[in-house]
Amino acid sequence: MQIDQTRFRLKPDQFFPAEQKKDLIVLHFTAGTTASGAHATWITPVNGRQQRVATAYVVDLDGTVYEFFPPSDWAYHLGMKTGNPGWIQDKRSIGIEIVNPGPLKAVGDALHWYPQNFGVEWCKKTDAKKYVAANYRGYDFYAAFPEAQQEAVRELVAQLADRFSIPKLLPPEKKRTAFDPGFFQQFQGIASHQNLRADKVDIGPAWDWAALAARLQRS
Ligand SMILES: [Zn+2]
């Protein structure tokens, strides 16, 4: 698959250029609508310091895959306050951010996303391809992932699992939506941010785990 390794490449002080043993892939969504937005946030210093917050990959709405830094290296991407001594969970995992606005709120005949306190329209309720209606952690609607984008993520996950010998294993079905640090601190395979943080809603109910499982069984 085509991977763009130049457009949003981070500088060495914007991640940790140090190879790690990888046994986990963590899926995120950006809670935004562009890869460039994630890039702009990550390269902006706070109090004059680079934050080194990023994921190795960002997959855009059209399925374009951007490599921000080598997947063998690491950056902060989990933000765990406990159960992460020496940032071991960030180090052992490869983060993939999927461009997606995330949770939506119903406002009249429309669904709105985050900015300005859910003041920005994402789609009309009649545009069924653009969202999924499912309650998860306090929200009733989530933005859909376009098929081309999901296909690109599946391909990327399969390739990374091969390259780093990461088990092609999804969490058991009843654990996929759960915050269960005891389980996921040991889990090797493909998980998502919501498994490691109670206050996160990514990857959310719009993600198609069954299609990812089918792709991983094939390879
Ligand atoms: Zn996340």
Q: Is pTM, for the whole model, over 0.85? A: yes
Other C-beta atoms closer than 10 Å to the C-beta of 179 total 16
Distance 29 CA to ligand 1 centre (A): 6
121 Cα to the center of ligand 1, angstroms = 22
Query: 68 C-alpha to center of ligand 1: Å?
Result: 16
pLDDT of residue 219 exceeding 90? no
Is-contact 99 149, C-beta < 8 A?
Answer: yes
The domain ranges of the chain are 3-100+145-218, 103-142
Q: What is the pLDDT of residues 27-64, one digit of tens each?
A: 999 999 999 999 999 999 999 999 999 999 999 999 99
Q: Ligand 1 center to residue 97 CA distance, Å?
A: 7
* Residue 203 CA, ligand 1 centroid: distance in Å: 7
Distance 53 CA to ligand 1 centre (A): 11
Task: Give 166-196 as a DSSP string.
Answer: ----PPPGGGTT---HHHHTT--EEEEGGGT
Please tell me the distance between residue 2's alpha carbon and the centre of ligand 1 in angstroms: 24
Residue-wise over 26-62: b if at least 16 C-beta within 10 A, else e? Answer: bbbbbbbbebeebbeebeeeeeeebbbbbbbbbbbbe
CA of 165 to the centre of ligand 1 (A): 23
| Domain range 3-100+145-218, CATH class | alpha beta
What are the helix (H) ranges across the chain? Answer: 35-42, 88-92, 115-118, 147-164, 181-184, 209-218
Report the mean per-residue pLDDT for the chain: 97
Cα(107) to ligand 1 centroid in Å equals 25
Cα-to-centroid distance, 137 and ligand 1 (Å): 14
Tell me how far the alpha carbon of residue 75 lies from the centroid of ligand 1, in angstroms. 13
| Dist. CA 187 → ligand 1 center (Å) | 17
Share of the chain above pLDDT 90, in %: 97
List, for residues 97-123, the tens digit of each pLDDT value: 999 999 999 999 999 999 999 999 999
How far is ligand 1, taken at its centre, from the CA of residue 100, in Å?
11
